Amino acid sequence: MSHAATREAIDDAKWAVLAPTGPPGFKDQPFAYHTELTMDIQTVTNDGHGIGRVELPGQHGKTWVVMVRDVIAGERVRVKIYRNFQNYSFAVLTEVLEASPNRIEPQCKLFGACGGCQYQHMTLEAQRELKRGHVQQVLHRLAGLPPDVQVNPVLGTGDAFGYRSKLTPHYDRPRRDQEGGGPIGFNSKFSRQIVDVPHCPIALDAINDQLPQTRQEVVEKRRRAVEAERHGIRKARGGTLLLRATEQGVVTDPRQECSEKVGRYRFWYTAGSFFQNNPFVLPRMVEYVNARLREPLSDGAPPRFLLDCYCGVGLFAICGHAHLETVVGVEVQGESVEAARRNAAENGANNCRFVLGNAQAIFGALSGDPSLPAMPSPSMAVVIDPPRKGCDRSFLRQLFRLSPARVVYVSCNPATQARDTIDFLGNGYRIDDIQPVDIFPQTKHIENIITFANERPGVPSENFPSSSPHTPPLTDADAPTAG
């Protein structure tokens, strides 16, 4: 795509903010559409919004919060208002007047428009320090830990671009006047509009090499769909593509079996099911989890038994099995459990067993297993790696009754992890280590690992719900925090 065409894509995506008149229904209080302001950025939230305060027009001394993307704390910038809410406004960056020393030129020409990346305008070191601070803040704000709670420097590799092994671009239902055309890419930073992304610099080269062909297939498919719709056969639809770089090449069929190596272990999985997406940092993350699992417990010996809850295709179970007597993985998705069994067999992890079921019912899955000790056991460790919504209440209740000596909690959403931390602290656990991992450089996403040590291992806790007030379930919308 030529640079001019790229600019066009950016302009399209910024339509909502750069159009000469406001969008229909624009609320013009306290600022009219496109009011230009100069502001100082005080902080950046964990969803990538810079926050500053500006004086309200005609109300001397009264200030108003304005949020703007693609900025860095400490910068002075010019912005244009494009949306007012009850307590704050959104603005688009038009000029950086005083740049932070951490500012760099974004590598992607679509950076100002595409919603996929938030931090390309910062050095990698600055991104990681920002993410470390966000983990600290969320644990302070939601779990009541001290504001300066010890959080390790973010674990990552130097692979800041060309690292993503999975890409899922979307496309809208084709419009009749577009024939097969229309953008294929990611949501805009400013609206639900899709920005056309013919090349994504955070994806692996193999994915970018495959992208033109996969996009062309969509164009053909859409052309046929529009034609069919014209003849009243069926309605054309939008969709999401899958491109996964694997040992079998780039796979686009979600049902295809594929494999990937992590250290010396090979993992099979179905392309559409869960597998981690950064093959560079993954071995480091697994190494870190294994190191936590091997540390001696209070009796001086390392854990002998491991439960891997939300185990997917057995990543942590299989990578950690060699130092354990018995490992049991629990996973709700049937095809992932089948893959986990195959992975254990092919990798010689004969002490691993995988149970199809809900992590909410772990006791049922474990009871009567002769390879496990009588429960609760002081030699038991647990790895948990739940989806973004965090742990279910009934899962936590059972976990605290099981009373494992150590729990390594891997999370892709530090906000729900912080919520669950309240329950760990209220049920006899203390925090031993907090380790963020930069799985997705250039983006706001961070993986965070908390290691909990049980002060009374093997003694079931009945103190649940814990005495500390439990915050209600969080959604993604709760995640942004002013830092």
Catalytic amino acids?
412
DSSP E strand stretches across 112-271: 166-167, 170-171, 184-187, 194-196, 239-240, 243-246, 249-251, 257-262, 265-270
Q: How far is CA 373 from the centre of its chain?
A: 35
Query: For ligand SAM, which is the closer residue by CB, 273 or 468?
Result: 273
Which pair of structure tokens corresponds to residue 46? Answer: 């964990």
Query: For ligand SAM, which is the closer residue by CB, 215 or 341?
Result: 341
Among 305, 310, 354, 400, binds ligand SAM (CB under 6 A): 310
**If binding is defined by CB under 6 A, does position 127 make contact with ligand SAM?**
no
Query: For ligand SAM, which is the closer residue by CB, 82 or 316?
Result: 316
String marking each residue 3-32 x if it binds ligand SAM according to CB under 6 A: ------------------------------
**If binding is defined by CB under 6 A, does position 400 make contact with ligand SAM?**
no
Among 274, 393, 394, 471, binds ligand SAM (CB under 6 A): 274
Burial 324-348 (b: 16+ CB within 10 A, else e): bebbbbbbebebbbbbbbbbbeebe
String marking each residue 402-441 x if it binds ligand SAM according to CB under 6 A: ----------x-----------------------------
CB 210 within 8 A of CB 159: no
CA distances to 157, 249, 350, 435 from 430, rounded to whole Å, are: 29, 44, 33, 15
**If binding is defined by CB under 6 A, does position 447 make contact with ligand SAM?**
no
Q: How far is CA 11 from the centre of its chain?
A: 28
Q: Least distance from C-beta 274 to ligand SAM, angstroms?
A: 4
Query: For ligand SAM, which is the closer residue by CB, 245 or 359?
Result: 359
| DSSP letter, residue 32 | -
Among 70, 75, 331, 438, binds ligand SAM (CB under 6 A): 331
Query: For ligand SAM, which is the closer residue by CB, 315 or 344?
Result: 315
CB 193 within 8 A of CB 114: no
**If binding is defined by CB under 6 A, does position 315 make contact with ligand SAM?**
yes
- # residues contacting ligand SAM (CB under 6 A): 20
Q: Least distance from C-beta 402 to ligand SAM, angstroms?
A: 15
Q: Least distance from C-beta 386 to ligand SAM, angstroms?
A: 6
Query: For ligand SAM, which is the closer residue by CB, 360 or 461?
Result: 360
CA distances to 214, 392, 417, 444, 481 from 421, rounded to whole Å, are: 43, 13, 6, 22, 18
Determine the Cα–Cα distance for residues 143 and 152; give it in Å rounded to an integer.
Answer: 18
Inter-axis angle of helices 393-402 and 414-425, nearest 10: 40
Determine the Cα–Cα distance for residues 34 and 19; give it in Å rounded to an integer.
Answer: 9
Among 113, 160, 330, 396, binds ligand SAM (CB under 6 A): 330
Stretch that binds ligand SAM, among 83-91, 153-161, 197-205, 311-319 (CB under 6 A): 311-319
**If binding is defined by CB under 6 A, does position 208 make contact with ligand SAM?**
no
Find residue 275's DSSP bridge partners: none
Which pair of structure tokens corresponds to residue 351? Answer: 């002490």
Q: Is 409 annotated as ligand-binding?
A: no
Stretch that binds ligand SAM, among 146-154, 219-227, 329-337, 451-459 (CB under 6 A): 329-337
CB 381 within 8 A of CB 374: no
| Residue in the shown chain whose Cβ atom is closest to ligand SAM | 312
Q: Is 276 annotated as ligand-binding?
A: yes
CB 444 within 8 A of CB 69: no
**If binding is defined by CB under 6 A, does position 75 make contact with ligand SAM?**
no
Among 77, 91, 293, 311, binds ligand SAM (CB under 6 A): 311
Which pair of structure tokens corresponds to residue 235? Answer: 């309605």
DSSP assignments along 404-465, one per residue: -SEEEEEES-HHHHHHHHHHHHTTTEEEEEEEEE-SSTTSS--EEEEEEEESSTTS-----S
Q: Least distance from C-beta 307 to ligand SAM, angstroms?
A: 11
CA angle 209, 215, 216 (to 5 degrees): 105
Among 193, 333, 466, 468, binds ligand SAM (CB under 6 A): 333
Q: Which of 246, 268, 271 is nearest to 339 (CA)?
A: 268
Query: For ligand SAM, which is the closer residue by CB, 219 or 332?
Result: 332
**If binding is defined by CB under 6 A, does position 118 make contact with ligand SAM?**
no
Stretch that binds ligand SAM, among 96-104, 149-157, 328-336, 343-351 (CB under 6 A): 328-336
**If binding is defined by CB under 6 A, does position 52 make contact with ligand SAM?**
no
Query: φ, ψ for residue 406 (rounded to 5)?
Result: -140, 140
How many Cβ atoms are within 10 Å of 86's Cβ, its own excluded? 6
Site for ligand SAM in 335-394 (CB under 6 A): 336, 358-360, 385-387
Query: For ligand SAM, which is the closer residue by CB, 310 or 440?
Result: 310
**If binding is defined by CB under 6 A, does position 282 make contact with ligand SAM?**
no
- Which residue numbers belong to the known binding site? 276, 310, 331, 385
Contact positions toward ligand SAM, by CB under 6 A? 274-276, 310-312, 315-316, 330-333, 336, 358-360, 385-387, 412
